[in-house]
Amino acid sequence: MGFLTGKKLLITGVLSNRSIAYGIAKACHQQGAELAFTYVGDRFKDRVVEFANDFGSNIVLPCDVAEDSQIDATFTELAKAWDGLDGLVHSIGFAPREAIAGDFLEGLSRESFRIAHDISAYSFPALAKAALPMMTGRQAAVLTLTYLGAEKVVPNYNTMGLAKASLEASVRYLASSLGPMGIRANGISAGPIKTLAASGIKDFSSILKFVEAHAPLRRNVTIEDVGNVAAFLLSDLAAGVTGEITHVDSGFSTVT
């Protein structure tokens, strides 16, 4: 019996088997959780249905977080399958390409700022708010994924760094809002991992090399490393932890 046995978790952001959300789903499944998934865009549906099958789940719902109606519909549909929800994983990020390359000011525009913050930051508290009726009365937890670029200047991360800073602040405000109901909110600041989203960041491979050379553990982290910490934070083992950003980055943030 795993430490997530009996927990029902909704996982967003599984796009491929390299996605951080895939590593989280794997670890949570190993610990006995029941899982449901969301996907964005019809062309990814079949793939996510397959991944869900691997984890013994047949709950796969469309959810483009840019649309309020899709966020609402996700929980209307989920409530037909489950009587409640014990955890939500937000593993979603997007910024227009020009806003994550080169000089910060050159790539800055009102529209790219708006999109990066809408998709990458607003969507976390928005999903938590929509999930709240299903989480009420349960020892539930919400979790998001962030990056060092929220705290420090990381080359090319640019506007996304601002969006991640907002996302990290939302973890603290969510913790304050949900805490009296016994619901927790946390974030994981993951080290760089080669996923589809990461390949959109210019010179990403040089960041991987730099971390491997300088991080205390002298290696990059894997989606399994992140998944295991996520499973812990979503579980009752972490019942006293909320409003926290946990670095899973081989210690890199301590030496920069």
Task: Kindly tell me which residue out of 9, 10, 20, 162 binds ligand 0WD, with binding defined by CB under 6 A.
Answer: 20
CB atoms within 10 A of CB 3: 17
Query: Rounded CA gap, 226 and 23, in Å?
Result: 7
In one-letter notation, the amino acid at residue 122 is Y
Which of residues 132 and 207 has its CB atom nearest to ligand 0WD in the complex? 207
Among 39, 122, 147, 173, the one annotated catalytic = 147
140 binds ligand 0WD (CB under 6 A): no
161 binds ligand 0WD (CB under 6 A): no
30 binds ligand 0WD (CB under 6 A): no
Which of residues 79 and 196 has its CB atom nearest to ligand 0WD in the complex? 196
Decide the pairing of beta strands 8-11 and 34-39: parallel
Q: Would residue 147 show up in a list of annotated catalytic residues for this protein?
A: yes
65 binds ligand 0WD (CB under 6 A): yes
178 binds ligand 0WD (CB under 6 A): no
40 binds ligand 0WD (CB under 6 A): yes
Stretch that binds ligand 0WD, among 1-9, 78-86, 91-99, 105-113 (CB under 6 A): 91-99
Stretch that binds ligand 0WD, among 15-23, 99-107, 133-141, 230-238 (CB under 6 A): 15-23
> Considering the complex, what minimum distance in angstroms separates the CB of residue 53 from ligand 0WD?
18
145 binds ligand 0WD (CB under 6 A): yes
- How many residues form the binding site for ligand 0WD (CB under 6 A)? 26
124 binds ligand 0WD (CB under 6 A): no
> Considering the complex, what minimum distance in angstroms separates the CB of residue 117 from ligand 0WD?
12
SS3 assignment for the chain = CCCCCCCEEEECCCCCCCCHHHHHHHHHHHCCCEEEEEECCHHHHHHHHHHHHHCCCCCEEECCCCCHHHHHHHHHHHHHHCCCCCEEEECCCCCCHHHHCCCHHHHCCHHHHHHHHHHHHHHHHHHHHHHHHHHCCCCCEEEEEECHHHCCCCCCCHHHHHHHHHHHHHHHHHHHHHHHHCCEEEEEEECCCCCCCHHHCCCHHHHHHHHHHHCCCCCCCCHHHHHHHHHHHHCHHHCCCCCEEEEECCCHHHCC
Q: Would residue 122 show up in a list of annotated catalytic residues for this protein?
A: no
Task: Kindly tell me which residue out of 13, 125, 161, 187 binds ligand 0WD, with binding defined by CB under 6 A.
Answer: 13
Contacting residues toward ligand 0WD, per CB under 6 A: 13, 15-16, 19-21, 40, 63-66, 91-94, 119, 145-147, 190, 192-193, 195-198
Residues with a catalytic annotation lie at: 147, 157
